[in-house]
Structure 1
Amino acid sequence: MFDERLLSRLDLNLLVALDALLTEKNVTRAAARLQLSQPSLSASLGKLRRHFNDQLLARRGNAYELTPLAVRLVEHTTVALDAARRVFESQSRWDPSESEREFIIHCSDYSLATIAPRVMRIAHRQAPHVRLHFVPSTPETMDEVVLRLPSIDGLLLPHGVISQMPHLDVMRDDWVAIAAAGNERVTGGLTMDVMSASPWVFTYRTRSAFTSVGRQVEMLGVNPWVEAVVESFVLLPLFVEHSDSLAIIQRHLAPIAQRMGEVQVLELPFEAVPVLNALWWHPVHETDPEHRWLRQVFAAARIGFGDEEDGADAALRGG
């Protein structure tokens, strides 16, 4: 068991110094980042080296490199520092109208373009000084984000990616196809034969990263010729316009797609599996009054449930 006497002797400021040193990999830059003198931060580095019995920063020519231990500490330090900030930012009484709290939410560009602006508008009407930090996530970073869930406020993801975490369903959607406005192949509408004969732009196409509708297309016997993979739903219209390519996007993105490029929106010739996206959070946030307020904002901003406009209007009125 960890010796609490050892913890009581630790200086929390060393955690701040360690984070800056591991990020900047340079004492001078880290000192400037923390607005400290270089000798002061060098002294902190000396204490950290004695504590870990490791150099942490090892000189290689004219530069410094992280030691193997320092590389392992990077992620732990970020999580620990975020957790420490949350501890000392917590208040017994929290008033949204007076708060300057920053909430961190990881999400896809689809969520950034659809629900995130609604959340911002509702939140800032109630809490004008609160900051919302929306961080784009990718399949490659998802494992890391899930591990960091205790130190962030939420993760916007469809069901089926993670489980056994508290969540709030916030977006219900289905799928449509987009094609260039002048694509003559779809003049009579989209058919399975047209889908089979057309080139495609997909968003994700690996064993671990794919959309449910993309997998469904293949299960229906269409073996799409994928001429490009673009890991962004929002950017798909730019690749489809002025080409013969097709792409599939969420219906709530369709108006944005038509504003971005010269594309037309087409109904799919099969019943696609709908999408249900949720805000996921770690149980450590469950009783946090600040986080509870954030969840209420997301509930008011939800899309695709039929009553979202009423909920958003009530939230904007403070209802």
Structure 2
Amino acid sequence: MGSGRGNAARRPASLASLDLNLLVFLRELLRERNVTRAAERVGVSQPTASAALARLRRHFGDELLVRSRGSFVLSPLAAQLAPQVEPVCASLERLFSTSAEFRPAESDREFTLLMADYVLVTLGEQLSREMFKTAPGIRLHAKVLQKLPADIPEALRLIDGIVSVGKAELHAPGIHSVELFRDRWVCIVDRDNPVSERLELADLERMPWVVPHHPDGGYPPSSPLGPLMARLATHPRVAVRVDSYRATPYFVAGTDRIAIMQHRLARQFRGRADLRVLECPGDPPPIVEKLWWHEERETDEGHRWLRGVVERAARPLDHRNALAARTRHAASA
């Protein structure tokens, strides 16, 4: 029979035996990949930081930071730890910052939102202004969404929200949402592209495409452009795949390619004389961007405040408000 001591050594360390200060230092160490900068971020001396690194190395049985060509890189184990440490620290910060009353003006809580770069361009500045106006000490981690997490409910337990169109994966039990704003699809081509100002579906079928976030195997019916793709006689001929909506026009300029993108984003390039923005044929469905969160956060005063801030930031973009304003103006005329 093996000794009990050997089995005990392989058991996970109990929370009571862990120094949570090491977790904070580990997060900064993995972010900065430098002991000195990590020490500055945490606010400890160099000897204290070196001692913390030594303790972490003993705990994991791994170097964590490895010198390479005059700098440090993460070891394979450290690279695995990096994405795990961030949500753990965020959860702990939320846990210990919880109080009976949330005071935005006095809080330094950090919120994490996941959104596509298109949403960042469209909503980011106004969101930043709204947050700073009422809570200058609040911190925001705006993470760029390239594809939805595999487990939506679990992901939304670890972060504060996702801004996305209503994909099927998001319609899961316990997930709530509120509409923020709407947009429409347009096409973008080079100025010298001979295509007509009035595009037809046949143009989409014959022209090479620049496609952001193109999934393997093409667009599923549940994707925002799924209904339009279903109307094409052939699959799009993809010339460029790029993991950014914002970068799409750069791969259209000077070529015979075409891209379909959001109108609000396309307007950011209206100062470029070498590009044309055209109406999209095929009557594609509107883009409806929503904020999604887990029901466990419903009673969290801080999270309720955040949702209100995001909604206020999106209000100038809300087509319903714009329509109501036009209706009021017409009625008073």
- Shorter-chain TM band: 0.7 to 0.9
Among candidates 146, 150, 161, match of residue 157 of structure 2 = 150
Counterparts in 2 of 1:67-106, with a 5 A limit? 68=77, 72-106=80-114
> What is the aligned partner in structure 2 of residue 315 from structure 1?
none
Change in CA separation of 1:308 and 1:148 when aligned onto 2, cut-off 3 Å: farther
Q: 1:196 aligns with which of 202, 205, 217?
A: 205
Question: Over residues 190-235 of structure 1, what are the superposed CA-to-partner deviations in whole Å (9 max), with x where a residue is unaligned?
Answer: 0122222322211132337745326733552133322222222222
Aligned equivalents of 2:176, 2:289: Cα separation in 1:
13
Aligned amino acid, residue 192 of structure 2? G
What per-residue deviation string (whole Å, max 9, x for no partner) do you get for residues 76-128 of structure 1? Answer: 33222221222233333323334343322121111011122232233333334
Task: State how far apart, in whole Å, the 2-side matches of 1:20 and 1:119 are.
Answer: 26
Structure 2: which 5+ residue stretches go unaligned? 1-10, 326-333
Give 2:321's aligned amino acid.
D
Provide the rounded CA distance (Å) in 2 between the counterparts of 1:99 and 1:78. Answer: 20
Tell me the SS of whatever aligns to 2:244.
coil
8 Å CA contact retained: 1:171, 1:278:
yes
Alignment map for 1:1-319 (pairs within 5 Å): 6-23=14-31, 30-31=38-39, 33-45=41-53, 47-48=55-56, 52=59, 54-57=60-63, 66=75, 68=77, 72-139=80-147, 142-143=149-150, 147-160=154-167, 161-164=169-172, 165-187=175-197, 189-207=198-216, 210=219, 212-213=224-225, 216-217=228-229, 219-260=231-272, 262-300=274-312, 301-302=314-315, 303-307=317-321
Counterpart amino acid of residue 57 in structure 1: E
Q: What amino acid sits opposite 1:204 in the alignment?
A: H
Supply the AA of the counterpart residue of 1:202.
V
Quote the offset at 1:249 in angstroms. Answer: 0.9
2:178 partner amino acid: L
Work out whether residues 177 and 268 of structure 1, in 8 Å CA contact, stay in contact via their aligned partners in 2.
yes
State the distance in 1 between where 2:79 and 2:179 align: 37
Alpha-carbon spacing, 1:117–1:18, altered in 2? closer, same or farther (3 Å): closer
Kept in 2: contact 1:157–1:279 (CA 8 A): yes
TM-score (norm 1): 0.78
Take 1:72 and 1:218, find their aligned partners in 2: how far apart are those partners?
A: 40
1:178/1:266 contact within 8 Å kept: yes
- Between the aligned partners of 1:64 and 1:230, the Cα distance in structure 2 is 27
The structure-2 alpha-carbon separation of the partners of 1:309 and 1:57, relative to structure 1 and needing over 3 Å to count, comes to: farther
- Equivalents in 2 of 1:267, 1:65: separation in Å? 47
Distance across 2 between alignment mates of 1:268 and 1:100: 44
Matched position secondary structure for 2:105? coil
Work out the CA distance in 2 between the residues paired with 1:96 and 1:15.
26
